[in-house]
Structure 1
Amino acid sequence: MKARRIAVLGAGIMGSSAALLLARRGHQVDLFDAAAEPFSAASRWNEGKIHLGFIYSADPSLQTARRVLPGGLAFRPLLENLIGCRIGDCTTPTDDLFLCHRHSVVDADAMHGYLQAVAALVRQHPDAGQYLADASACRVERLTARELAAVTDSPDILAGFRVPERSVATNWVADRYVEALAAEPRIARHLGVHIASVARDDAVRSGESWHVESSHGRHGRYDYIINALWNGRMAVDATAGLPPAGKWSNRYRLSLFARTTTAVAAPSAIIATGPFGDIKNYNGRDFYLSWYPSGLMMDSSLVSPPEPPVLDEAAVREKTHSIFQRLTELLPQVGDIRQHIEQVSLRGGWVFAAGQGQLSDPRSTLHRRSDYGITAKGSFISVDTGKYAHAPLLAHALVEDFGL
């Protein structure tokens, strides 16, 4: 295979996965990111849910579930190969609880039917055994009244389901990626660099060549450019001749990342389905907590959304209090987390999704997340990751589809 010079834009999980695969295949990779370090935004600061499709109960066609399932099942083996170690220690140890809220866009019985249908898809998939926890016998259990009462006493929670879906601690994963990138001699990191545009080199007569324009000047020539930016991807695509299509949403969200002084017995739970929240218990002491209305800072349909506001200390305290309070009203165990806090930070990043509307509206196209993947203009390749869990499989698809 001929070695290529390739620019990868974005050093989150998608760009870093592609960069590692390409470098290990003998290519020279220039990895660009606006932050001072890789994995500084949403790829580090999210819940790490490795989706099998259960959360998309507002898409009863199962189109979204079928689309996301292969990436979720392939995540563990592909990730372990990329970072060179096992990930069992960073995986939530128990199945998720899905708690149906009174104002859910899907009622409890319909949610139960949907969850059972997705479980059947998982069981039938040949790769079900390689999920974070073996899912080859995947089943969804509806909580009894007594079991539900042990989790919540809120009248707003109408039903609960035990769902075999899990998450990874994204901080831990991010640190392993950063180590792998630093150890790869064929990857040159260009950090603190804002990408403005890309363009073909017209002077090159044989083959196709590109250069990158950034806040630091011109970079290149490159045989390929892979645009894996999370924020600003569409604006760069347009400079390569890939104009934006359809409708989209850029949301800037913040959540809490907490560590307790002692182990707390709180479940990993999702309040479904709509603009609610969730909690992830990674190991008894490290937690992710979100409440969507409190954490949503910005929702923009612009190709290049404005910079999010910078919160002062008072605003951070207010949002932290709001997330804890709203979750505790539904899950009393969150109060135990707050009581034993050792440290807590409010962090997040941009979330891009094809579709628009409000999550409180069952007609919103944001409830359907099957429209993502790879597009190209010659040797300029753009990747809409869709979800964190999809990145390793998309990176493999990219290098295979383009013969890299």
Structure 2
Amino acid sequence: MSAEPVGAERRAVIVGAGVAGLTAAIALRQRGWQVEVLERAAGVEPAGSGLSLWPNGLRGLDVIGVGAAIREQSLAATEGGMRDTAGRWLSRTDIAALRDRYGDLVVIHRNQLSDLLRTALGTGPLRFGCAVEAVEFTGRGVRVRHSAGTTDADLVLGADGINSTLRATLWPRARRPVYAGYTAWRTIVTPAEPVLAGGETLGRGQRFGIAPLRDGRVYMFGTANLPAGQRDPGRELDELRRRFGSWHDPIPALLAAADPAAILRHDIYELPPLDTYVRERAALLGDAAHAMTPNLGQGANLAVEDAVTLAAVLDRAPDIPGALTEYDRIRRARVQPLARLSHRMGAALQLALPAVTPVRNAVLRLAPDAAALRALGPVLSWAPPA
């Protein structure tokens, strides 16, 4: 393969304006690329959820210069772990020790993170209401046809989520996302009394999670083993109260403060592993490449890792196809074991058999808290490539 022309300005089309796409766009622009981000949605869509940014993700965000602003607008985690439905601790996460060993752990509203990334990118490269229709390779480049016309580029990146259009177009034989066996409700509430501690509570075949945000609001979620496709618009909060309303404080108070119209419900799907994340001059990032269950809390963090890794290898490789080959090797080795781990964690945390869940809880109680901290090492110690 021949090297790219010296001094030529390289151009990338990025499909999707989520965490992966915006981070990649910023990282590439900082390295002299011309970028165009195509987002199918007509505008910024409100997201009624929060997310955790772990030390590995924050290191990647530091690379593109937004880490400090994110820390200012997020809440540093203070307490975490798992409880039973009566509120007794099954395991506790030593947040101070985690921070000392690996770095910051924060919780932020998803919209705030998106706003900070869009501000860092600027409005010029971002086109809303622009759906990709076709992609074709043209020797030394790629042509992307979309609802606003045609763009010729050196590289196209698919960062358009688990139901990626780019993946469906260029990876037509890839297996479709698979239902993980449980559904999730999410919302953000403003409680009457401050909630300072987060964590998860385990029941039989269902869980409830709490994550305080910086402004006094609380992100909360519930999961339950149910068939896919069940919806009852307008009554989802009733279902949450039925399932979790008798659990320990502050869960009943949070449910009492919730707005029925603000409850989001999504079935949890995961993407079977791909043989490759790249094809010619195309690459997949984030959920488009490796959507996994949310049990590790690493979705946004791994998307950031993908983006800054891709930008770094494009910077140091003599040609784009060679850089993509290196990106694929690095990221599949990193991400696919974590996807399997997250799947196994979900299977354990969603256990429903009456004879099995007490055993699970007993194992959690007996396991040293320090062991969980050590187990996080391979996940949280990631550092951006030079």
TM class by shorter chain equals: 0.5 to 0.7
Structure 1 position 249, deviation (Å):
3.9
Change (3 A) 1:255 1:228: same
1:379 matched to 2:382? The reply is: no
Aligned to 1:192: 129
Q: What residue is the counterpart of 2:217 in the other structure?
A: 286
Partner of 1:220: 151
Contact 1:79–1:392 (8 Å) recurs in 2: yes
Q: Could you report, residue by residue, the CA deviation over 1:11-64 in whole angstroms, capped at 9, with x for unpaired residues?
A: 0101111011111111111101111235x37xx4443134xxxxxxxxxxxxxx
- Aligned partner of 1:268 in structure 2 is 198
Greater Cα shift, 218-227 or 188-197? 188-197
Cα 1:374–1:218 shift into 2, 3 Å: farther
Please report the RMSD computed on the Cα atoms of aligned residues, expressed in angstroms: 3.9
User: Once the 2 structures are TM-superposed, how far is the Cα of residue 296 of structure 1 from its aligned partner?
Assistant: 8.6
Cα distance in 2 for residues equivalent to 1:349 and 1:373 = 27
2:116 alignment counterpart: 176
Structure 2 unaligned blocks of 5 or more: 1-6, 292-298, 321-386
Q: Name the CA shift for 1:231/1:195 in 2 (closer, same or farther; >3 Å).
A: farther
Alignment of 1:98-113 (within 5 A): 98-100=82-84
Structure 1 residues 193 and 4, CA gap change in structure 2 (3 angstroms): same
Deviations 1:347-401 (A, max 9, x none): 366865235xxxxxxxxxxxxxxx5897111111112254122122111111123
CA deviations 1:102-141 (Å, max 9, x no partner) are 9xxxxx99x86xx89xx8xx97x9x934232xxxxxxxxx
Equivalent of 2:304 in 392, 396, 400? 392
Shift of 1:176: 1.5
Could you state the TM-score of these two structures normalised by the residue count of structure 2? 0.63
Q: Which residue of 2 aligns with 1:96?
A: 80
**Structure 1 unaligned runs (5+)?**
51-71, 103-107, 133-165, 202-206, 300-308, 356-370
d(CA) in 2 for partners of 1:252, 1:4: 42
Confirm or deny that 1:36 pairs with 2:36. Answer: no
Q: Which residue, 204, 226, 245 being the options, matches 1:328?
A: 245
Report if the CA contact (8 A) 2:48-2:262 is conserved: no
How many pairs are equivalent?
293
The CA distance in 2 between the partners of 1:373 and 1:270, in whole Å, is 34
- Is the CA contact (8 Å cut-off) linking 1:230 and 1:351 kept in structure 2? no
Percent of residue pairs identical: 13
> Which of 61, 81, 90 is the aligned partner of 1:79?
61
Flag the 1:8–1:374 CA change in 2: closer, same or farther, 3 A: farther
- Look up the equivalent residue of 1:390 and give its one-letter code: L
Partner of 1:11: 17
- Per-residue Cα deviation, 1:271-302 (whole angstroms, up to 9, x for no partner): 34854231212247311122223999749xxx
Cα displacement (A) at 1:344 = 7.0
* 1:190-269 to 2 correspondences below 5 Å: 190-201=127-138, 207-214=139-146, 216=147, 218-233=149-164, 235-241=165-171, 243-245=173-175, 248-249=178-179, 253-260=184-191, 262-265=192-195, 267-269=197-199
- SS of 2:190 mapped into structure 1: strand
Q: Is the 8 A contact 2:19 2:303 kept in 1?
A: yes
The structure that is helix-richer by fraction is 2
- Give, in whole Å, the separation in 2 of the partners of 1:246 and 1:343: 32
**Maintained 8 Å contact 2:212/2:218:** yes
Read off the aligned partner of 2:157 and give its amino acid letter.
Answer: I
| Mapped partners of 1:295, 1:30: distance in 2 | 40
Bigger mean CA offset, 81-90 vs 18-27 = 81-90
- TM-score of the superposition, structure 1-length normalised? 0.60
Contact preservation (8 Å) 2:184, 2:222: no
* Residue type of the alignment partner of 1:326: R
Report the equivalent of 1:61. Answer: none
